[in-house]
Amino acid sequence: MTCPLTIIKLEAAPGPDNCARSARIRFPFAVVRHMNSNTFIRLQSGDALIAVDVQIDFLPGGQLAVPEGNAVVPAFNRYLAAFGARALPVFATRDWHPPNHCSFKAQGGIWPPHCVAATRGAEFAPGLALPAAAVVVSKAATAEADSYSGFGGTDLAARLRAAGAKRLFIGGLATDYCVLNTVKDALAEGFEVLLLTDAMRAVDVNPGDGARAQAEMQQLGARPIHCEDLAP
Ligand SMILES: [Zn+2]
């Protein structure tokens, strides 16, 4: 008789880490997960990767820096390698604001100027290994409209469907704003969503915002994963 629980694996709680840290177990946050071959996620046709706003102004030193925002770059590169190896589609959203954008404080908004179109701060993070074929989706590109979601006022949904996407792997900056709203819209559009917990970081204007955002996304149906959950 074969026991289906062939491997018992301990996994640390999601955190600012990379694949290697899973070996370090910290109680009481560790959970026991019964693993068999079905628990790995096998990338397949219909999968698409979405990098939300991994832009210079959201990295440490940028105009609207997200704490540890640069940590998403190596994490994303691991997912990008896995998607690239299987020739699966990659999408990258970006804030692409005019200098007088409504979200900026000078116009009555709540944010400092950031990601002004065609400036260095709006460029994708150096070192982010986006493939040449990545589909770039610019958002909030007019003075009057803001959108935290990559779906807001863009053709992202149509382009995903044109690419045959059904299951979306979403991470980026920041967990409690643009990732949250992009994930909510993706679920509302009928896509399955896997949340890249190792490839996103929060602004945490109010302490705990990021954790609350992740809980909300999971409650709505997004499934949190780490890159180590991908089948080799
Ligand atoms: Zn913005």
Closest CA relative to residue 215, chosen from 184, 186, 169: 184
Contact assessment for residue 158 and residue 90, using Cβ atoms and an 8 Å cutoff? no
CA of 40 to the centre of ligand 1 (A): 35
Return the amino acid letter for 219: Q
Name the residue ranges covered by the structural domains of the chain. 41-229
Give the residue carrying structure tokens 């007088």.
100
Dihedral angle, C-alpha 129, 150, 121, 126, nearest 10 °: -10
pLDDT at 34: 42
Measured CA to CA, the distance from residue 74 to residue 77 in angstroms comes to 5
CA of 189 to the centre of ligand 1 (A): 22
Dihedral angle, C-alpha 70, 225, 19, 151, nearest 10 °: -30
Give the confidence band of 171 by pLDDT, cuts at 50, 70, 90: very high
Give the confidence band of 10 by pLDDT, cuts at 50, 70, 90: very low
Q: Map residue 114 onto helix, strand or coil.
A: coil
pLDDT at 39: 85
pLDDT at 1: 36
Name the CATH topology of 41-229.
Rossmann fold (3.40.50)
pLDDT at 180: 98
Tokens of 169: 């792997």
Contact assessment for residue 137 and residue 150, using Cβ atoms and an 8 Å cutoff? yes
| 51, HSE (Cβ side, Cα atoms, 13 Å) | 28
Q: Is the pLDDT of residue 197 over 70?
A: yes
* Higher-scoring residue by pLDDT: 25, 50: 50
Catalytic machinery residues: 53, 139, 178
CA of 65 to the centre of ligand 1 (A): 12
CA of 94 to the centre of ligand 1 (A): 9
